[in-house]
Amino acid sequence: MEVQLLKEELERRLPQKRYEHVLRVAATAKKLARHYDVDEIRVELAALFHDIAKFMEPAEMRTLIEKHGEDVRLLTFHHELWHAAAGRIIAEKTFNVSDEDVLNAIRYHTTGRAGMSPIEKIVYVADLIEPGRAFPGIEQLRTLEGKSLDRVMRDCVSHSIKYLLDNHVAVFPDSLECYNEHVQKTQLRKES
């Protein structure tokens, strides 16, 4: 998939502010990929696709999720989570993306999950810390010096879950499994 053609497609599908967010996420993801020695091309592709379905109608996303065998538990949570699964389907079925890491990075950029690949983690983190984001604690999350990708991921998923809890929003099970995995990894490092 040629990046420039994808950007043109995204610009057609997304409002300008969301398109600019996607470009910042892609730039942040590429920077993280260089920092953590991960394939920049695959990371950029996943980051560009991550919000392709963000402004689809919920009924259209529901249909895609049901038709293509995505986790139907999503449908019992707020439709804000649905665009990740719909985006994966669009990337695969409409744009012929076949790289499982890229597809999973699109699919899990909102919830995370246990067993994420480095590409998945980078897109998740980049979406949260891109330069357009402003919230208490963002600068601490952006500090990478001396931190492993797992540590950065743990900090980001912790922040996301705390935000959901503080706002009394249900937490998708994949997010809890992602959190638990990264907390346990941190504990194992301390014990060894």
Question: Cα–Cα distance between 55 and 107 in angstroms, integer?
Answer: 16
Question: According to the model, what pLDDT value does residue 145 have?
Answer: 85
Which own/partner pairs from 184-188 qualify as long-range (CB within 8 Å, at least 24 positions apart)?
A: 185/150, 185/154, 186/150, 186/151, 186/154
pTM for the model = 0.95
User: Any idea what the CATH number is for the domain that residue 27 is in?
Assistant: 1.10.3210.10
Q: What is the DSSP string of 55-96?
A: TS-HHHHHHHHHHTT--GGGGGS-GGGHHHHHHHHHHHHTT-
Give the model's pLDDT for residue 185. 86
Instruction: Find all residues with CB under 8 Å of 140, minimum gap 6, and list them.
Output: 155
Q: Distance between CA 111 and CA 96 in Å, rounded? A: 24
Q: Which domain holds residue 148?
A: 3-191
Could you give the CA distance from residue 1 to residue 7 in angstroms, rounded to a whole number?
11
Number of domains forming the structure of the chain: 1
The answer to whether the Cα torsion of 62, 174, 153, 33 is positive or negative is negative
Give tens-digit pLDDT for 4-28.
Answer: 999 999 999 999 999 999 999 999 9
pLDDT per position in the chain (192 positions), as tens? 689 999 999 999 999 999 999 999 999 999 999 999 999 999 999 999 999 999 999 999 999 999 999 999 999 999 999 999 999 999 999 999 999 999 999 999 999 999 999 999 999 999 999 999 999 999 999 998 889 999 999 999 999 999 999 999 999 999 999 999 999 987 777 665
